[in-house]
Structure 1
Amino acid sequence: ATLTYDTLRFAEFEDFPETSEPVWILGRKYSISTEKDEILSDVASRLWFTYRKNFPAIGNDPLSSGPWGWTEVGHRGSGWPLL
Structure 2
Amino acid sequence: MSLPIGIAALVIAILLLAVGHFFPFGVPVTFVGIGLIASYIYDTRYKPASKQPIGPGWVDTGERFIDPETNKRVGVFMRPETGERAYREL
Q: TM-score, normalised by structure 1?
A: 0.29
Q: Which has the higher contact order (CA 8 A, sep 6+)?
A: 2
Q: TM-score, normalised by structure 2?
A: 0.28
